[in-house]
Amino acid sequence: MAYEIILSNRAQQDRIEILQYWINRNKSNVFSIKLNEVFIETFESISINPNVGRKLGIKDFRIRIARDYLIVYFVEEDIVKIVTIWDGRRNPSEFKERLR
């Protein structure tokens, strides 16, 4: 049974900002389209097996890596809630602040 995936408002905004960043940087949407496909494939993988992510040690959060991005989520009954999508190359202390 696949779990339903729900992106929080924060995660939706993160995804938009990440994809927009790459469109602006590359002056093309080709990479952003491919990166979005990676995100979707990762969401589908989590949906099929929500325990695939490593426990984060903060609340009941789990983390799954998709390229350079950290997808933070938790499982509640038959729903997987994506909390945030974070560029793993950014400052780790800012990442911890976001999860509070």
0.75 surpassed by pTM: yes
CA 44 to chain centre: 12
Distances (CA, A) of 17 to 1, 29, 95: 32, 13, 16
Q: What is the mean pLDDT of the chain?
A: 93
pLDDT digits (tens, 9 = 90+) for 68-95: 999 999 999 899 999 999 998 888 778 7
Q: Judge whether residue 40 has pLDDT over 90.
A: yes
Domains in the chain with CATH codes = 4-98 (3.30.2310.20)
Q: Which pLDDT score is estimated for 27?
A: 96
Residue 61: DSSP 8-state: -
Measuring CA to CA, which residue among 62, 95, 63, 97 is closest to residue 76?
62
Let me know if 99 is exposed, middle or buried by CB neighbors in 10 A (0-12, 13-18, 19+): middle
Report which residue type is found at 11: A
Q: Which pLDDT score is estimated for 95?
A: 79
Q: Judge whether residue 57 has pLDDT over 90.
A: no
